[in-house]
């Protein structure tokens, strides 16, 4: 595990001058965000996706139920960032037994781009995260995964998550 984390750190934290492809020619990416409920950091985490520095991406916010409080958070961000290509999908599509996959299906079916990033609501990004990730894609690489770093959540579940993510690093 520590080898892969070290490798990710070496490859994903390149300076802008080492970008493999011209910035404007980077592939478009559809970001699927499965949402359920509101935690204390939801709006600040989601907002980092609305402020990324990347030429062509869309944010597909997927919520199962119309009465979920995350709907209001999403509408607030959609209003605050009208120039960001983002859409809200309410109501899933039953395709299997996994509720998260069912929740994501309408967004996945509506995705514009061939590259898809599924990223949970507890994740925040830096402005250049998407550039770093897409620059790892080559004809020999079909999947890029970024190990999340847990820093700002409190409580038992957050502590357990930190232990599981970093136990072998």
**Which ranges constitute the DSSP H helices of 26-69?**
42-50
97-138 pLDDT tens trace: 998 999 999 999 999 998 899 988 888 889 998 888 888 777
Enumerate the domain spans of the chain: 27-149
Dump pLDDT digits (tens) for 144-155.
666 555 555 566
H or E stretch including 89? Answer: strand 86-90
* Angstrom distance (rounded) from CA 94 to CA 166: 34
For residues 169 and 1, is the Cβ–Cβ distance under 8 A? yes
**Hey, which CATH number is domain 27-149, 3.30.930.10, 3.30.56.10, 3.90.550.10, 3.30.2350.10?**
3.90.550.10
Count CB neighbours of 36 within 10 A: 17
39-67 pLDDT tens trace: 888 999 999 999 999 999 999 999 999 99
Element (H, E) at 109: helix 99-109
Residue 106 in tokens: 């309408």
pTM beyond 0.85: no
């Amino acid at each position: 595990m520590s080898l892969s984390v070290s490798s990710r750190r070496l490859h994903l934290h390149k300076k802008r001058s080492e970008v493999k492809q011209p910035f404007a020619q980077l592939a478009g990416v559809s970001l699927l965000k499965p949402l359920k409920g509101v935690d204390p950091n939801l709006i600040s985490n989601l907002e980092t996706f609305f402020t990324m520095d990347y030429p062509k991406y869309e944010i597909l916010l997927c919520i199962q139920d119309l009465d979920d409080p995350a709907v209001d958070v999403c509408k607030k961000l959609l209003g605050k960032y009208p120039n960001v290509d983002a859409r809200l999908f309410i109501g899933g599509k039953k395709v299997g037994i996994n509720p998260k996959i069912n929740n994501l299906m309408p967004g996945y079916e509506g995705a514009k781009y061939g590259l898809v990033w599924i990223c949970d609501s507890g994740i925040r990004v830096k402005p250049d995260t998407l550039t770093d990730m897409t620059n790892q894609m080559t004809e020999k690489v079909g999947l890029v995964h970024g190990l999340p770093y847990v820093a700002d959540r409190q409580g038992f579940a957050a502590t357990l998550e930190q232990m599981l993510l970093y136990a072998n690093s």
